[in-house]
Amino acid sequence: MVKKKVVKVAPPPRAAAPLPEGLAAVRDALGALGFAVQADAESGLAFMFEGGQYYVPAQGDDAGFYHLLFPNFWPLESDEEYGQALFACDAVNREAKLVKLHTVDGDVWAGVEALHAQPQEFVAALPRYLSFVQEAVRVFRDVMLAAQEAEDSAELHPEPLA
């Protein structure tokens, strides 16, 4: 009797969906600038910059719209801190160029939305966008820390009752 050897064959790996043309051009341009870029056709691009993870989400059919996101830079740990964060976001959003701060599921995010005719124009503006985001985050942190210091000071030195 001859024994047959059974060989298990793994299915071939599924090819990843191709990136939209504009997003692929942004990925390539970021790579040329030295960024290590992770790409996914559904979610977009991710890259590190000065210790933070940034994203350029896929935008579907709007080839001229670009969104740079810096998510989760400040976790919100209480309802009181959430209220302080809304105040700080509003203060930054009134003054910051191009940057919008907002809350998402218990965290604060920063983003820049821009319209560009070509992906290369977005990449050319990216260093400026990154500096705008970093400045907005710095101002947000300053406002939050000042609010927390004021709160701590009030707890240590309550005003006397009249």
Domains and CATH numbers, the chain: 21-154 (3.30.1460.10)
Give Cβ neighbours of residue 44 (< 8 Å, ≥ 6 apart). 23, 55, 56, 57, 58, 59
Residue 131 pLDDT = 96
Residue 60 pLDDT = 76
From first to last of the 162 residues of the chain, give the pLDDT tens digit: 555 555 566 555 555 567 878 888 999 999 998 999 999 888 899 999 999 999 999 887 788 999 999 999 999 999 999 999 999 999 999 999 899 999 999 999 999 999 999 999 999 999 999 999 999 999 999 999 998 888 777 666 666 666
Residue 47 pLDDT = 96
Name the nearest CA neighbour of 89 among 39, 144, 128: 144
Q: Is 47 exposed, middle or buried, given 0-12, 13-18 or 19+ CB atoms closer than 10 A?
A: buried
What global pTM score does this model have? Answer: 0.80
Residue 161 pLDDT = 64
